Chains A and B, each alone.
Chain A
Amino acid sequence: MSTTVATPEPAKSRLWKPPIVGLVTFVLMFVGVGLAHTLMVLIEHNLGRETTLAVSPLLGFTGIILLWYGVKSKNETFQTWVGFFGGLIVWMCWVEFFYMWYGRMNWGMLPRMDGAGGLEVSGTYPEYMIMGSTVGTLLMMLCFYTFDKDTRCNMFLWFQDKLGLREGLGPTTKTAKDRNYAIITFMETVFVTWFCYAWNLLTFDPALTGKGNLFVAVNLASVFVAVVWAGFCLTRLIQFKRTATALRYAIPVGNIAWVNVEILEKLDLMSHAVFIDPWSYKLEASVLFGAFLTLIALLVVAPKKPSEVGARRVSAAE
């Protein structure tokens, strides 16, 4: 016999309905990408670079501990938040800081130079040169999701459809209640961040696109793709009613939109210095951080459907 935990349906909210849920989660994730830059800079500044790089492998375990709590939880919303923050921490510590140590302190790589006479240090630091070389690894690992019949990611479902894989893969064997959203969100955060980094790094690589017209053309094409892609996803996101689902969907939308920020900065058309040099923009950075925390708080207290808080979980057969 299976039981269902009964909880009253939440009162209908005038605020938390489309398109508010989608817009709030999009803004949260978009600003979140920038603030993740700030967090890295602050950690490095406060601990010192050498200490940061030395302890980053250990710091990364805090993301795994978070994930452990999330996986044990039955609350989908909690799983989603924990998976997101766990993924961010692990990416930051086990990828960015670790590559930083390898490139700057271990392998003795030099930064790419830019500007007049090639005498300005460009933003392509050694760790990003290493990261650019991981594109093959990324694509190889994405094969798993492309050929996984249980994936629910719309992009991979689209690929499966276009590649005629649906029949061969067969029907999914998992239902929503079989899924653990902590690990799903964790992996989503890692792969989306990785993918967007790789995208930017490939189009910025002068060995591939040069520094002249081809560079500008490729990067403007990237902006076009990123705007259309993020815009298309946003039109779907603003129809979401469940905050947990919207949060997960907003991770790629915010990151793809952020690809434009990096490109426009590279083309000297804008700057995101507020995120990477918060000391020079204390007020602005504080406002953005305050807004980010407010959005998180709003989403945490937003009315949830019972399925988002695990109230409809079917308990073990008695």
Chain B
Amino acid sequence: MDAKRNNAKGPQPHEGKATMEGRDLEGVIERARGHDAEALGEIYRRYARRVFGLCRYMLDSRESAEDATSEVFLKLQRLIESYDGSIPFPKWLLHVTGNQCIDALRRRKRGQQVIVEVEDGAAVIEAASPEPSPLGAVMSAEERAQVRDAIARLPENYRVPLVMRYYGELSYDEIAQQLGLQKNYVAALLFRARQELRRKLAHRSK
């Protein structure tokens, strides 16, 4: 992206860019709180991709992910005032993004819960496979792409918490709160999501 921008004709944005990146995050956030458009733009540049990533994983189409991303950054102008620095900014931003995506999912379900708890859903699954996970060993880029692909193919009730946990790095409590579920149930969903993922990957590698 940057390389592309530099290749462009017209004056090179050397000085401007260097100082921009030199500025630390706190300063940028401070200025963004004062509705500094440039600072908000800087936050966008730094985090848009990551925010889009979470949306892309959580929502099922590119369009809705793009819409959600725009919404997040639109809301940010207002919400950033409420950011108190108690948690790292990227984490906070992903939290906001998670909320936005869940709102989007909920809207699509006409206001109903995104994931509905079912009976004995939280029951702990005992005595699981002792053999090492097929996930443990794979590491090449291609295989990681396979993992992503398999995650994308998980059903929504597995995909959403999994992505919130391992991409959004939200805690069980935060996920439970955002999805309106019990913490136990989130733990069970995450566990089942992993098992389903292993099953999908094992199936594929055969």
A, B: real partners: no
Which A positions have Cβ atoms within 8 angstroms of B?
Answer: none
Which B positions have Cβ atoms within 8 angstroms of A?
Answer: none
